[in-house]
Structure 1
Amino acid sequence: MKIASIFAIGLIGFCGIASFASAEDAHTMVAPNDIKWGPAPKVLPAGAEAAVLFGDPTKEGLFALRLKVPSGYAIAPHTHPADEVVTVISGTTNLGMGKTADRSAAKALPAGSFFALPPSTAHFVYFDEETVVQITTNGPWGLKYVNPADDPQKTQ
């Protein structure tokens, strides 16, 4: 019984510290109608829109970004320098693993799906319908194409 009491008191103390720490930071709430869409980062193929919901993808620290892509959109095989944590908000994401875009090996992930990839994991995505995904990770955000010629920032 003493151990349970000590554990409960410790847990209450920890929760109090956590509440105090978060009370010092500004909170963030974003309703769907308040999302401000703009052009996606130039490292992505043209046609996507992005909205930063929290944090700053160009700086160190946690951020949340929504990406809206049109039907037919695709991102060639690539990696990221940090964990990539993705929730499919609407539509369907077709996720394939590896250094080549073998669509027959991709898995369709409908709205409500979630995936997390460790740093440097080669993968590709494509979309058969307009889709919105939310990416949550630590910045600075980056994307490195397996084949540098796939990078839309490269001039021909």
Structure 2
Amino acid sequence: MKIASICAVGLPVFFGIVTFASAEDAHTMIAPGDVKWAPAPKILPAGAEIAVLFGDPSKEGLFALRLKAPSGYVVAPHTHPADEVVTVISGTINLGMGETADRSTAKALPSGSFFALPPNMAHFAYFDEETVVQITTNGPWGIKYVNPADDPQKSQ
């Protein structure tokens, strides 16, 4: 499925229920207790939650969101259309590069870690404990799975 199709179908449905702060606003401040979690959009495997902190992932422009992944969560090899800048807020993400999910090549990145990926870099992730990562990138956000059969929308 093309990224544009994923964004057109999956993102507005999910992100339509969230209010966004934008660059046009004077400022944005969110205390940890004020983060509003909702189920992740269907372009991600079931079980995760997302909180949009700034911007609108379904539109062009800068945005920041947090992804809360439960223990045992896996995201198959995929790419994104824009740079992704990620900080591990809590827990540990196991991040691997490439078009196959070879766990022996993944690196464990604990709380406080940072990584940045250029557009279209294939990568995968798995989580052995509940983990929260903060993703900052430019929209519209999209995920293209290396193997289209890994797209969770195909099984729903």
Please, what TM-score do these two structures have when normalized by structure 2? 0.83
Find out whether 1:98 has 2:98 as its counterpart. Answer: yes
Q: In the TM superposition, what is the alpha-carbon distance from 1:25 to its structure 2 partner?
A: 4.1
Q: Which stretches in structure 1 are left out of the alignment for 5+ residues? A: 1-23
Q: In the TM superposition, what is the alpha-carbon distance from 1:86 to its structure 2 partner?
A: 0.5
* 1:46-57 correspondence runs (5 A): 46-57=46-57
Name the residue aligned to 2:120.
120
| Residue identity opposite 2:100 in structure 1 | T
* 1:75-114 correspondence runs (5 A): 75-114=75-114
Q: Cα RMSD (Å) of the superposition?
A: 1.0
Aligned length: 133
Q: In the TM superposition, what is the alpha-carbon distance from 1:65 to its structure 2 partner?
A: 0.3
Helix, strand or coil: the match of 1:33?
helix
Q: In the TM superposition, what is the alpha-carbon distance from 1:120 to its structure 2 partner?
A: 0.3
Displacement over 3 Å in runs of 4+: none
Q: Which stretches in structure 2 are left out of the alignment for 5+ residues? A: 1-23
Helix, strand or coil: the match of 1:89?
strand
Distance in 1, matches of 2:69 and 2:122, equals 20
Matched residues, percent identical? 86
Change (3 A) 1:36 1:25: closer
Please, what TM-score do these two structures have when normalized by structure 1? 0.83
Q: In the TM superposition, what is the alpha-carbon distance from 1:155 to its structure 2 partner?
A: 3.4
Find out whether 1:26 has 2:26 as its counterpart. Answer: yes
Q: In the TM superposition, what is the alpha-carbon distance from 1:41 to its structure 2 partner?
A: 1.4
1:76-109 CA-to-partner distances (Å, cap 9, x unmatched) read: 0000000011000000000000000000000000
Distance in 2, matches of 1:46 and 1:25, equals 32
Name the residue aligned to 2:149.
149
| Residue identity opposite 1:88 in structure 2 | V
In terms of Rg, which structure is larger? 1
Q: In the TM superposition, what is the alpha-carbon distance from 1:33 to its structure 2 partner?
A: 0.2
